Amino acid sequence: MCLFVSLTAFAQSPRESATEKSYARAREVLEAGIKAMGGLDALKAINSISREMSGVRTEEGQGLRPIPHRGDYYRNGEAPVVNHPKIKHVHDLRGQRLSDSLDDVIFGGQPLRIRNILTKDVSINVDYNLGTVDERQLPNAAAARANRSRRYPEILLPMVWDRLETARYLGESEYEGRKQLVISFAHQNGAQISLYFNAQTGLFTKSEILSDNPVLGDTAEELVYDDWRPVGKLTLPFRYIIKVGGMMLQDLRATSITIDAKPDESLFVAPEGLAKVERTPPARKIVKLGEDVYLAPGDYNSVFVVFNDYILALEAGSDNQSSANVIAQIKETTPGKPIRYLVSTHFHFDHISGARSFIAEGATIVTTPDAKSVIERAAAAAHTMRPDALSLSPRAPIIETMKGKRVFDDGAHRVELYEFSNPHCAEMIIAWLPKEKILFEADMLDIAYPGHIGEGGEDTAALLGKIQELGLAVEQIVPVHGQMGTMDNLRRAVERIKANK
């Protein structure tokens, strides 16, 4: 027994030594990074910090048309700009409050003005376009604030220091031609995050996390920091680049960073005169819209029509798990019939993110020519981190493209698809169910709650124009986002465009 214990201890000793060395080196790298920003005491002495930022969003998964996936787009400016966000972030650390405001225009012309507020135990969401306030108690507001603020180095690095026992040294790397020292740590939410530090200056270069992207598969998401400048006793970055799969998603420049100024109290309370709404999670139960026509509600609504010999589904859902749940609901509602077709309205990543589940089911995808290559790419992506049905049983996608009009009709059921160019996307499909007088559309009119009249954009006006051009007698609109509405919702959203110009 003594010999066994001795051999066991000897076998474990090198491993323990390597772990200790990795921890010690990670501590050195982190300590140098904190020192380069001004030191731990100075970072922890921050009472409040405010940033005003503006920039561009150049997402490959949005815009009028797909673009090739190239990581150098963010350097040479070739990627199409789809948004011009303006952000104001105010963090009152001593008061345990923060306020994030976003002012932007969604690609296609719809305004986006929101503010997210987190206090000690309350979350408040303000949507100025909808004219609504959603206020709710949070069971763990501190964790929510930590998650929202970890994008900023003055919050993230002290957070890592407080979880130093999870830190490990990963080795050397290179970014933009500069040598980097790389460590990792475990965030309190369980995420494993890699941190890159400039080997020469000690400054924090970027954070990196691996994620399962529904379209891209196993993907690195990076937040890069640049343009470091003195702010009082600290040194902080004035440029923030978000990259997904090596390609820039957002490039923000700080126009001002202020430390320890008294925060504006109005930023932490709900404005007067807005409607208070309760945003309950959407019901997941199937809703019957007509004979053999059903709505599968969720964050992204789907509709399916039960033809005599098969099922046709409209829109896949926001991710592969959601679409798998929709497929299960379809099978439960109409057992025994194959899901033969899935209609994907356009190529935007968030609208094809659930296509893999339908491909695994053997469904034929009906979509636009632009969307075909994007869906093929999504079907070929590797999902080793979170395998889905297509990962476990690979098969090539069957895709049929359309332009203009396509009709599905078996004598008892009819669905008409119309493809047209829209300011939100150059190739967009809407679905018309003439018997039920239902129009299914994506992104051009979002109805957040019953009776909601938001301000539309050029895409909303184009949808109204297309309906009038086709002479469709629409009684009910089913949007991919939100609640069912009517033509009155659509007309009044377009009228608000004119009123606010």
Q: Is residue 335 located within the same domain as residue 306? A: yes
Contact 96, 81 (CB under 8 A): no
Q: State residue 73's pLDDT score.
A: 59
Collapse the DSSP code of 207 into the 3-class scheme (helix H, G, I; strand E, B; otherwise coil) and give the result. Answer: strand
Domain boundary among the residues 253, 276, 299 is at 276
Model confidence at 71, pLDDT cuts 50, 70, 90, reads low
The larger pLDDT score, comparing residue 81 to residue 256, is at 256
Reference 440, options 290, 325, 309, 331; nearest CA is: 290
**Range of lowest pLDDT (107-116, 133-142, 453-462):** 133-142
Structural tokens at position 270: 């709900």
Q: Is residue 271 located within the same domain as residue 296? A: no
Q: Is residue 387 located within the same domain as residue 479? A: yes
Q: State residue 11's pLDDT score.
A: 46
List, in order, residues 6 or more apart from 110 with CB less than 8 Å away.
Answer: 129, 446, 454, 455, 456, 457, 459, 460
Q: Is residue 368 located within the same domain as residue 222? A: no
Give residue-wise pLDDT tens across range 87-130: 999 999 999 999 999 999 888 888 889 999 999 888 999 988 87
Model confidence at 2, pLDDT cuts 50, 70, 90, reads very low
Q: State residue 78's pLDDT score.
A: 64
Model confidence at 9, pLDDT cuts 50, 70, 90, reads very low
Mean pLDDT of 29-42: 97
Q: What domain range is 336 assigned to?
A: 287-500
Contact 112, 133 (CB under 8 A): no
**Range of lowest pLDDT (250-254, 298-302, 379-383, 415-419):** 298-302
Contact 57, 81 (CB under 8 A): yes
The domain that holds 314 is classified in CATH as 3.60.15.10
List, in order, residues 6 or more apart from 391 with CB less than 8 Å away.
Answer: 382, 383, 384
Pseudo-torsion of CA 147, 153, 156, 160, nearest 10°? 160
14: in domain: no
Mean pLDDT of 297-306: 92
Mean pLDDT of 369-375: 95
Q: State residue 7's pLDDT score.
A: 35
Domain boundary among the residues 276, 304, 327 is at 276
Q: Is residue 236 located within the same domain as residue 304? A: no
Q: Is residue 349 located within the same domain as residue 411? A: yes
The larger pLDDT score, comparing residue 68 to residue 79, is at 68
The larger pLDDT score, comparing residue 4 to residue 294, is at 294
Q: What is the DSSP string of 73-139?
A: HHHHT-SPP-B--EEEEEEETTTTEEEEEEEEE-TTS-EEEEEEEE-SSEEEEEETTTTEEEEEE-T
Q: State residue 275's pLDDT score.
A: 76
Structural tokens at position 264: 């504006």
d(CA 256, CA 166) in angstroms, rounded, equals: 34
Give residue-wise pLDDT tens across range 194-203: 999 999 999 9
Give residue-wise pLDDT tens across range 326-350: 999 999 999 999 999 999 999 999 9
Walk across the sheet containing 302-306 and list its strands: 287-290, 293-296, 302-306, 311-314, 339-343, 364-367, 398-401
364: in domain: yes
Model confidence at 4, pLDDT cuts 50, 70, 90, reads very low
Give residue-wise pLDDT tens across range 387-422: 999 999 999 999 999 999 999 999 999 999 999 999
5: in domain: no
3-state helix, strand, coil in the chain (%, to 5): 30, 35, 35
Model confidence at 430, pLDDT cuts 50, 70, 90, reads very high
Q: Is residue 257 located within the same domain as residue 304? A: no
Q: State residue 283's pLDDT score.
A: 56
Reference 253, options 228, 281, 220, 274; nearest CA is: 228
DSSP-derived secondary structure letter, 363: P
Give residue-wise pLDDT tens across range 206-252: 999 999 999 999 999 999 999 999 999 999 999 999 999 888 888 99
172: in domain: yes
481: in domain: yes
For helices 153-162 and 141-149, the axis angle rounded to 10 degrees is 120
Q: Beta strand 405-409 with 414-422: parallel, antiparallel or unpaired? A: antiparallel
- Please provide the average confidence, as pLDDT, over all residues in the chain: 89
Phi, psi of 173, rounded to the nearest 5 degrees: -150, -170
Q: What is the DSSP string of 150-200?
A: TTSHHHHHHHHHHTGGG-EEEEEEEETTEEEEEEEEE-TTS-EEEEEEETT
Q: Is residue 128 located within the same domain as residue 198? A: yes
pLDDT at 439 > cutoff 50 = yes
Q: How many domains does the chain have?
A: 2
Instruction: Tell me the Ramachandran region of residue 126: left when phi exceeds 0, alpha when psi lies from -120 to 50, beta otherwise.
Output: beta
49: in domain: yes
Q: Is residue 255 located within the same domain as residue 316? A: no
The domain that holds 154 is classified in CATH as 2.50.20
Q: Is residue 258 located within the same domain as residue 385? A: no
225: in domain: yes
- The percent of residues above 70 in pLDDT, for the chain, comes to 92
Contact 455, 420 (CB under 8 A): no
Q: Is residue 235 located within the same domain as residue 348? A: no
Model confidence at 10, pLDDT cuts 50, 70, 90, reads very low
Q: Is residue 218 located within the same domain as residue 311? A: no
8: in domain: no
Model confidence, pTM:
0.86
Domain boundary among the residues 276, 297, 323 is at 276
Model confidence at 65, pLDDT cuts 50, 70, 90, reads confident
Mean pLDDT of 127-147: 79
d(CA 136, CA 21) in angstroms, rounded, equals: 46
pLDDT at 5 > cutoff 60 = no
Q: State residue 12's pLDDT score.
A: 47
Contact 454, 489 (CB under 8 A): no
